[in-house]
């Protein structure tokens, strides 16, 4: 799923290779991309918009004005070209005719696709397909060079037999080759390929009686962002989740628990199999010493509840860890945040502590952004700016990737030095 979370606009222009665009669409979607198709009028003569609509699951943009639409080309909601571009990571034009490239090179916008292209900026990948004489023509070569100068990318056409029964360079590149270029340009690096990552998320709940419990305000968003980011980088993710306000991501092995002790038992079982543990769950430090099996009745008197300490899951796991396992903990601190984080790093014996202070602007519990400081041994603390939680997850996993590669290198060099 190298293109998971990526939005692509696929422009299809009129040429015999238009049918191959359906195959390209399938390949892009197979890698997790969300694809919107825009067609020129002449493309609709080679392949119907309905084909792309069914395959992509979205309306197909074929005209600038509603009254130009053929029945069935787009529904009433229509698709706005500006809206498409606003969300797009890349526009891929495959097949691309000399005509559409010429229009884009000179800023002409007289149909849906050329208008999209003029709005797009340089994030465009062209897969030209045309008669070899058209491709070799000085004007086309000039337009190709001009588009490249503007920052556009090309997957050059191939040599071979053409639909016009001539031999030469002009056949559209294989859809697989186009897919590879898309992945190269916007794909997610698979730098955690096959790495077993255990992530804890959400909050624990400790029963006082059958209807009441102690918990905290953690939403689970940070842990879910970590799970999604790790998965998109090729990791094999196990999510150990308490209560959360967000759904667990699809395609991830999820284990649900309620109390800190449940989480501890599950973590002990799952930890030996993982290469990396990221403990983002907000674990309750205390539980009721004697949870009542029936509903506690109101009395006139004040009530004191005796609390018993829960196990420190992270510190416990650190004691059992094998040499190569990496451990990341979080620390929610409102005073002397970095110093307190450094103390936790030592006390819990982990490799990284991600400190956050909910009093910081943009770091509120349950919010969509976070402000964190990365604290590790032997290095100055690094405070990151306010970032969406997915970007915080990316930075934490970047750290994991770097740390793993350093560990591997130092492991190798120590083997070499022993030899």
Catalytic residue flag (residue 274): no
Kindly tell me which residue out of 279, 352, 396, 397 binds ligand CTP, with binding defined by CB under 6 A. Answer: 279
Kindly tell me which residue out of 283, 352, 392, 396 binds ligand CTP, with binding defined by CB under 6 A. Answer: 283
CB of 394 to ligand CTP, least distance (A): 19
CB 42 within 8 A of CB 56: no
Is 241 a residue that touches ligand CTP (CB under 6 A)?
no
Phi, psi for residue 38 in degrees, rounded to 5: -125, 130
Which CB sits closer to ligand CTP, 307 or 332? 332
> How many chain residues bind ligand CTP (CB under 6 A)?
14
The string of DSSP codes covering 380-402 is --EE--SEEHHHHHHHHHHHHHH
Is 231 a residue that touches ligand CTP (CB under 6 A)?
no
CB 126 within 8 A of CB 98: no
C-beta pairs of 381-387 under 8 Å, 24+ apart in sequence: 381/338, 381/341, 381/342, 381/355, 386/361, 386/362
The answer to whether 348 is a known ligand-binding residue is: yes
Is 313 a residue that touches ligand CTP (CB under 6 A)?
yes
CB of 271 to ligand CTP, least distance (A): 11
Is 312 a residue that touches ligand CTP (CB under 6 A)?
yes
Distances (CA, A) of 324 to 266, 298, 338: 21, 53, 26
Which CB sits closer to ligand CTP, 89 or 312? 312
Which CB sits closer to ligand CTP, 207 or 285? 285
Which CB sits closer to ligand CTP, 331 or 372? 331
- In sequence order, what are the residues at sequence separation of 6 or more whose Cβ sits closer than 8 angstroms to the Cβ of residue 394? 229
Is 332 a residue that touches ligand CTP (CB under 6 A)?
yes
Candidate list 50, 54, 163, 164, residue with the active-site label? 164
CB 11 within 8 A of CB 91: yes
Which CB sits closer to ligand CTP, 25 or 279? 279
Kindly tell me which residue out of 330, 342, 373, 392 binds ligand CTP, with binding defined by CB under 6 A. Answer: 330
Is 218 a residue that touches ligand CTP (CB under 6 A)?
no
Stretch that binds ligand CTP, among 89-97, 161-169, 294-302, 327-335 (CB under 6 A): 327-335
CB of 273 to ligand CTP, least distance (A): 18
Is 327 a residue that touches ligand CTP (CB under 6 A)?
no
CB 274 within 8 A of CB 238: yes
Is 202 a residue that touches ligand CTP (CB under 6 A)?
no
Which CB sits closer to ligand CTP, 319 or 418? 319
Distance CA 199, CA 278 (A): 5
279-303: burial string, b at 16+ Cβ within 10 Å, e else = bbbbbbeebbeebeeeeeeeeeeee
Lookup result for tokens 């509603």 = 66
Q: Is 145 left (phi over 0), alpha (psi -120 to 50) or beta?
A: alpha
Q: Give the per-residue contact string, 284-303, with ligand CTP (x = CB under 6 A; - = no).
A: -x------------------
Tell me which H or E stretch contains 132.
helix 132-136
Span 337-396, contacts to ligand CTP by CB under 6 A: 344
323-352: burial string, b at 16+ Cβ within 10 Å, e else = eebbbbbbbbbeeebbebbbebbeebebbb
2: β partners: none
Is 260 a residue that touches ligand CTP (CB under 6 A)?
yes
Binding residues: 285, 295, 311-314, 330, 344, 348
Binding residues (CB under 6 A) for ligand CTP: these are 260, 279, 281, 283, 285, 310, 312-314, 329-332, 344
Q: Catalytic residues, which ones?
A: 164
């Amino acid at each position: 799923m190298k293109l998971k979370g990526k939005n692509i606009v696929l422009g299809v222009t009129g040429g015999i290779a238009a049918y191959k665009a359906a195959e390209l669409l399938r390949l892009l979607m197979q890698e997790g991309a969300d694809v919107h198709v825009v067609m020129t009028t002449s493309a609709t003569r080679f392949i119907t918009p309905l084909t792309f609509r069914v395959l992509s699951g979205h309306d197909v943009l074929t005209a600038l004005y509603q009254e130009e639409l053929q029945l069935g080309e787009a529904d009433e909601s229509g698709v706005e070209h500006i809206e498409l571009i606003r969300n797009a990571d890349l526009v891929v034009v495959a097949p691309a005719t000399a005509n559409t490239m010429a229009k884009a090179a000179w800023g002409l916008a007289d149909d849906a696709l050329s208008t999209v292209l003029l709005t797009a900026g340089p994030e465009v990948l062209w897969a030209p397909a045309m008669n070899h004489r058209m491709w070799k023509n000085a004007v086309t070569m000039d337009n190709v060079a001009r588009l490249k100068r503007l920052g556009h990318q090309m997957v050059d056409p191939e040599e071979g037999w053409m639909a016009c029964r001539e031999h030469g360079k002009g056949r559209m590149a294989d859809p697989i080759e186009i897919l590879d270029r898309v992945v190269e340009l916007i794909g997610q690096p698979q730098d955690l390929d096959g790495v077993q990552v255990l992530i804890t998320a959400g909050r624990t709940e400790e029963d006082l009686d059958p209807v009441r419990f102690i918990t905290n305000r953690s939403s689970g968003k940070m842990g879910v962002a970590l799970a999604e980011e790790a998965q998109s980088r090729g990791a094999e993710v196990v999510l150990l989740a308490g209560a959360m306000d967000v759904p667990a991501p699809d395609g991830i092995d999820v284990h649900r628990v309620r109390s800190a002790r449940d989480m501890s038992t599950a973590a002990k079982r799952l930890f030996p199999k993982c290469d990396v543990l990221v403990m983002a769950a907000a674990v309750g430090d205390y539980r009721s010493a004697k949870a009542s099996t029936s509903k506690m009745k109101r009395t006139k008197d004040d009530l004191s509840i005796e609390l018993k300490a829960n196990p420190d899951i992270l510190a416990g796991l650190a004691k059992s860890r094998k040499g190569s396992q990496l451990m990341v903990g979080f620390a929610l601190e409102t005073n002397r945040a970095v110093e307190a984080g450094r103390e936790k790093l030592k006390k819990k014996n982990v490799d990284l502590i991600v400190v956050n202070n909910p009093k910081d602007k943009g770091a509120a519990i349950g919010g969509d952004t976070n402000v964190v400081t990365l604290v590790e041994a032997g290095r100055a603390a690094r405070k990151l700016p306010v970032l969406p939680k997915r970007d915080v997850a990316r930075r934490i996993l970047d750290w994991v990737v770097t740390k793993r590669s350093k560990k591997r290198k130092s492991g190798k060099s120590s083997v070499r030095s022993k030899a």
